[in-house]
Homo-oligomer: A and B are copies of this chain.
Amino acid sequence: MGDEGLDVSGLSIGILGGTGHQGMGLAHRFAAVGHQVLIGSRSAARAHEAAESLGPGLPVRGEENAVVAAESDVVIIAVPWEGHRLTLEALRPVLAGKIVVNCVNPLGFDKQGAYPLDVEEGSAAQQAAAILPESRVVAAFHHVSAVLLLDPEVSEIDLDVLVLGDDRQATDTVQALAARIPGMRGVYGGRLRNAHQVEAFTANLISINRRYKAHAGIRVTDV
């Protein structure tokens, strides 16, 4: 996948908004393969609690978002869309120079299901890039099923993680990180300007899950 030979096993991973389902699921999987994981929250107490809830023996700590951002090699943004802009604005200096992985899906919900919200910058990832000009923003992990990530019975995650960005070294790194989780691959998915449809496609996966009673993901063929 272009990341052959890239050893990312020593990278620590911070997850802002890591007390949500998606963040907890990723924390669990990355810690299970030996990454130091820092779960971030606005509240240090909630972060501690979340880290403890993943069980003993895992290399997971909980801290306030700002501490997590400062201490992690790679920072995953998993905050709710509502808090996206303000969270990133507050952390701009401490995220400078870092690989910042955006997995936020700006979605609305009504009785017909999920639909993508309009984002002024085009996508959550582009909004992050606009707020964090000194960071290396990558978009990835949009389609992970929190249910599967958190299920101890599921040993392999049947999913290709689309990794988007304009910084080749950063996307290669995130592809290699995705491949650390058993079953997952990281597949380059295009530049940041093409992130909107990957975020929005989560709405389609929600429709698919509803129709087929599934936890759907995607695989890219011929790659």
Q: Enumerate chain A interface residues (CB-CB to B < 8 A).
A: 2, 112-116, 158-159, 162, 164, 187-191, 193-194, 196-198, 200-201, 203-204, 207-208, 211-212, 214-223
Contacts and interface: CB of A to CB of B under 8 A. Distances in A.
B158 A222 contact: yes
Contact of A214 (B190, B211, B222): B222
A116 B208 contact: no
Nearest to A159: B221
20 contacts: A112-B191, A158-B221, A164-B204, A187-B208, A188-B211, A189-B204, A189-B207, A189-B208, A190-B207, A190-B208, A191-B207, A194-B200, A194-B204, A197-B197, A197-B198, A197-B201, A197-B203, A198-B204, A216-B222, A218-B221
Contacts of A201: 197-198, 201
A211 B2 contact: yes
Count of identical protomers in the assembly: 2
Given A113-B190, A196-B200, A197-B197, A216 B208 contact: no
**Chain A interface main SS type:** mixed
Nearest to A168: B211
A105 to B, nearest CB: 11
Q: Which 8 A-B pairs have the closest CB atoms?
A: A190-B207, A197-B200, A197-B197, A214-B222, A219-B219, A190-B204, A217-B221, A158-B221
Nearest to A2: B211
B190 A203 contact: yes
A218 B215 CA distance: 16
